[in-house]
Structure 1
Amino acid sequence: MSEITPSNTVSNSPGQASAQWNSRFGYIMVAAGAAIGLGNIWKFPYLAYRGGGGIFLLVYIIIIAIMAHPMVEMETAIGRHSKSDTVTAFEKINKKWGFVGWIANLCTMMINMYYVVVGGWVLKYAVQYIISGDFGTNSGDYFTKFTQSPVEPIVWSFILLAFVSALLVFGITNIVEKVTKVMMPLLFVLLIVCGIWALTVDEGAKEGLKYYLLPDFSKFNIKVFADAATQVLFSVGIGWGIFTTLGANISDKSNLKSDAIWVSVCDTLAAILAGFVIIPSAFAGGVDVQKGPGLVFEVMTGIFSKLPGGRFIGILFFLALAFAVISSLFSFFEIPMRTVEQKLKMGRKKAVLIVAAIIFIGNIFVSLGFGALKNISIPWPYVTGVEFYGLYDWFDCFTGYVLLPAGCLLTCIFVAKVWGFKGYEKELTQDGRDGKLSSFSKILTMVVVPIFMIIILLNVFGFIK
């Protein structure tokens, strides 16, 4: 097979075998890149702080251990079995269940509508470090002024979107697998270096580390659980077709069980390291950790401004994060693009242009939601009435707390009741070559994971708090 990633294999007809990954390590790094991305480095730290620090971290790790790898296994097995788009993947087993794939496509499109915006921020900061490394005397003011601009953030979003789309159109995305093998480990190293440095320069950082690592059980509630579980779905990338799509290009020789564990471990390590850097550093620098989306940008620029060789390290950090974003976007875009191309019978270029255009329209509204449209609110149904959220918060809530858990819940039902454990085990283990499907895994699929998803859904609409 030629050295290609899933992104340039979608021109295969539905009945044609998909090309395979060049190496197992390459697949794991790209899968980890799709999982890690902004979910861990950007979103996890402020959710961890808001959720009580140590108790959020503990709940997150438990949920990862219980839920992440079985869900990755299920989605990847469905993808490898079909070697096609997310809709066809379910229809190949049962024609009535293609709607699960359509939900995944809707979810991915909507996530891209804000993910690309934040990715544009990353690209802007990487370029700013290369040009001058100057973020003014107050990094918080710089971030606020930039994100509230009516034009500049949209331009950066468009540049990122156009770059990814161009690579997809011209079929040269095989470079992602090669570059990601270097950039993802580099990102881990930079996080470790920054975290150690932060702890050595300020006593406040040590207080932040205690808050982050030591659980306070009095702070546990259903909201903390729901936030942690949703963050697992978002950061690992389960419930929205990523691993179904990646799985379509995995060889039958691959051990899906061990690969799923490695992807989950890499994702968890990235999240823990990001919190290890961001939260103590925010404590030390007096940054409001509850600022949310802007936290990583303010904290990391603050660290690099004081760190010897900080500008050079800042360049490496934001470039590595930009590559993580790009590798994620190849997988994210591939989900709806493959569906548009195969299910709607469109060519590759048309599929890319249609998906990119829809995403960019969403990017415009989400970006303006931080500035010109920040006072615009969208209603959200709640058991006690109607609540109102800003554009980013509404998109985040609908995708993270409704579509992702719904996708996971339906996948569990599909595997247990529609495909059946016998058919699933045959694909997962390659007729027993890679072991067996344990009774514990069946319990997770039929009971534990569905209960977790139902809790999220009940919480987001206010039925349980």
Structure 2
Amino acid sequence: MADKNEWGSNLSFILAMIGSAVGLGNIWRYPYVLYSNGGGAFYIPYIVAILLMGIPFLILEYGVGYNFKSSFAKAIKKIHHKWEYLGWFLPVAVFMIMIYYSAILGWDGIYIILSFFKGWGADPNTYFTATLLQSSDSYLGILHFIPLIAVFMLVGWVIIWFISHRDLEAGLGKVSKLLVPLLFIIMVVIVGFSLTLPGASIGLAELFHPDWSLLTHFEIWMAAFGQIVFSLSLGMSIAFTYASYTKDDADLVTNTLAIALANSAFENFAALGVFSILGYMSMQSGTAVSELVTQGTGLVFIVYPTVFNVLGQWAYVLGPLFFLTVYLAGLTSILSTIEPLSFSIQNKFTLSRKKTMTILCIVGALISMVYATSFGGSVLGFVDTFINQIALLFGVIVECIVFAWIFEAEKLIDFMNSRTKTIKLGKWWLIIVKYILPIVISIVWVGGMIDVINNGSMDQLNSTIVTAALLLIATLIFTVLPAKNKDWDKAEERI
């Protein structure tokens, strides 16, 4: 029986895209970005970034993806036969994200169990860094294997394989219909409870206190556009791939608005819960909220357990719910990161979806074991910085130019307008995707590069070189391997 890479319904497509967008970054990155960039004042550049970049770029990706109804690599080769390398660059980079995401998923799986009895002890910081991760600053730490983390990571890989190796609708489509609504429901419960905590108003006052003076700073605008790139998975070839699976009657413009709205609502709602809890913690400990705020793993695995330690009996309900939410958010995102590379491999080498997903999950699981070592936490930070701030943004810039200029975005307007019930595309959209977006994303990319250069250590530089080499070599291998699909050089256009 042939693989069926098509959504069973428009709802499956929307929920899968929301699941891809709603991830760990919404829970542990956005509240910090909002707080540290002017609080309430940040909403001005944030909304501008959504309207100017998030929605227009997603429409472009969806339109081109729907047009080719093929993998990202095949479409790029069709647009320009000499650019197949770019067609593999982004899917491979996104797969590298998946590999280190599996480590965070593994850590969180451990914390789901720990949360039932506060197994992190009286000092969550020491437990996370010293007991669980057994962190080492030396490269030799890579030789020290941590079986507990490895086991929970492998459990995550088995779950990913179990869902992704099935036909699209039977696996990812069905799971998205279950997990995404469940994710929102659990977050409503957590935030609802958090808002009732004593001191919640302290945290919310800190969060939304606007610092209007920051609007004149370049950094706050760069932070807003950077957040939208990461939050909506722009240019990661995921939106393109998901759109290529859509049915013929999909209203892609309206879908874009629904996905952008749902993602924005979730991350702002999550911020209410995060800062309500930080306000409670501030009142209990006498520590200023500003000293408690952090982003990344510190917020999830250190600050939250510290709160649960002083929360009393409610912690045994709220703790498991919170870590389950993080796990579901990570899972819905990680499932999307395997799709672009998988579909490209299926297209070029005529492998079945089941075989492709099985191979990728095995390879990914084996490589991910580097994160189950004492130096794994450091490596994860280095790889995350390189992939997100350097590799992906560069790919996004090139993708924007290829789609808007080489493919000619004008071709999409009449088609997209003929089936949308909301926004009609016109010259305003072309100006954004052809001129404004490449410039804005380039500025964000340069800013990210400067940040890495100024703040990066020698270890980070070395890790960046190794990661870049692996990315470029893997991309080259997929590009030069001979295609087994006789139609690899052909791609039907629908528009």
Q: Give 1:53-92 correspondences, 5 Å limit.
A: 53-92=39-78
Q: Is it true that 1:217 corresponds to 2:208 in the alignment?
A: no
Q: Is it true that 1:445 corresponds to 2:441 in the alignment?
A: no
Partner of 1:269: 265
Structure-1 separation of matches of 2:420 and 2:376: 56
Q: Is it true that 1:94 corresponds to 2:99 in the alignment?
A: no
Using the size of structure 1 for normalisation, the TM-score is: 0.82
CA positional deviation for 1:148: 3.2
Pair 1:47–1:82, CA change in 2 (3 A): same
Find runs of 4+ consecutive structure 1 residues off by over 6 angstroms: 431-435
Pair 1:442–1:418, CA change in 2 (3 A): same
Q: 2:335 aligns with which of 330, 336, 353?
A: 330
CA positional deviation for 1:109: 1.7
Pair 1:120–1:224, CA change in 2 (3 A): farther
Partner of 1:239: 235
Structure-2 separation of matches of 1:19 and 1:349: 11
8 Å contact from structure 1 (residues 245, 334) kept in 2: yes
Q: Give 1:27-426 correspondences, 5 Å limit.
A: 27-129=13-115, 132=117, 134-144=119-129, 145-148=131-134, 150-151=145-146, 152-171=148-167, 174-203=170-199, 205-219=200-214, 221-286=217-282, 288-290=292-294, 292-301=296-305, 306=311, 309-368=314-373, 371-372=374-375, 390-426=378-414
Pair 1:349–1:197, CA change in 2 (3 A): closer
Between stretches 298-307 and 233-242, larger displacement belongs to 298-307
Structure-2 separation of matches of 1:227 and 1:308: 38
Deviations along 1:137-164, whole A, 9 cap, x unmatched?
3333433332337412232122211221
Amino acid at match of 1:455: I
Partner of 1:22: 8
CA positional deviation for 1:217: 3.3
Structure-1 separation of matches of 2:306 and 2:175: 28
CA positional deviation for 1:261: 0.6
CA positional deviation for 1:248: 1.2
Structure-2 separation of matches of 1:25 and 1:185: 12
Percent identity, aligned pairs only, is: 25
Amino acid at match of 2:122: T
8 Å contact from structure 2 (residues 236, 392) kept in 1: yes
3-state DSSP of counterpart to 1:22: coil
Pair 1:263–1:202, CA change in 2 (3 A): same
Structure-2 separation of matches of 1:213 and 1:93: 46
3-state DSSP of counterpart to 1:462: helix
Aligned-residue CA RMSD (Å): 3.1
Pair 1:93–1:428, CA change in 2 (3 A): farther
Deviations along 1:315-351, whole A, 9 cap, x unmatched?
3443344233223222211111122222244444553
Pair 1:132–1:423, CA change in 2 (3 A): same
Q: Where do 5+ consecutive residues of structure 2 fail to align?
A: 136-144, 283-290, 455-495
Between stretches 218-227 and 430-439, larger displacement belongs to 430-439
Using the size of structure 2 for normalisation, the TM-score is: 0.77
Q: Where do 5+ consecutive residues of structure 1 fail to align?
A: 1-8, 13-17, 375-389
